[in-house]
Amino acid sequence: MEKSEIKNVIEALKLSVTFQFIPFSQSRNKAEKMPSLNYKATVLCNGKELFTTDYMSGCAHCPSYKQGKLSIGENNAIKQECETGFKIMKGFDSTSYLSENKIIPGIVDFFYCISSDCDVLNYSSFEDWAENFEYETDSRSAEKIYDVCLKQALAMRNAIGETGLTQLQEAFQDY
């Protein structure tokens, strides 16, 4: 399904999301080598809040990112974008400055992640889920991830119903 068609499914289910930017230095990922764009995302259905979750996009989602070897200036721009949440612009004299353009994740990419997490409902237990996703079945951190996915999946199913959840997951089948 095309992105625009998936977006139509999301809108038909009356789903939306708001994002609050979290600077990389204050994120749960701050110890990672590569910077990332981090957000608190609040999922809404028909304007009613369902849950808030962490959402992260790798630095390849930064406007300053280019494939291949990056210059020092490009690396610095990426770091600034991950720290401020605003696109970095280059002036005529090659100096960089923050633009007024916020970096906002795509709604389709976000709901792809949520839809994937809702797959947790297809497993009869934590152990079954953990084995399928190659987590250790005795890992407390894996169990926390499972619990978050389960809570969010149940909230989604309660809001849009089993049929709506199936529609959402089918929309992302070939994404």
How do residues 132-161 score in pLDDT, each as one tens digit?
999 999 999 999 999 999 999 999 999 999
Comparing 66 with 114, the larger pLDDT belongs to 114
Q: Count H helices, E strands: the chain?
A: 5, 5
How do residues 45-79 score in pLDDT, each as one tens digit?
999 999 999 999 999 999 999 888 888 888 899 99
**CA 83/CA 66 separation, integer angstroms:** 18
Q: Give the phi and the psi of residue 138 in degrees, each rounded to 5.
A: -105, 20
**CA 173/CA 128 separation, integer angstroms:** 22
- The domain in which residue 125 lies consists of 3-171
Q: How many domains does the chain have?
A: 1
**CA 97/CA 90 separation, integer angstroms:** 6
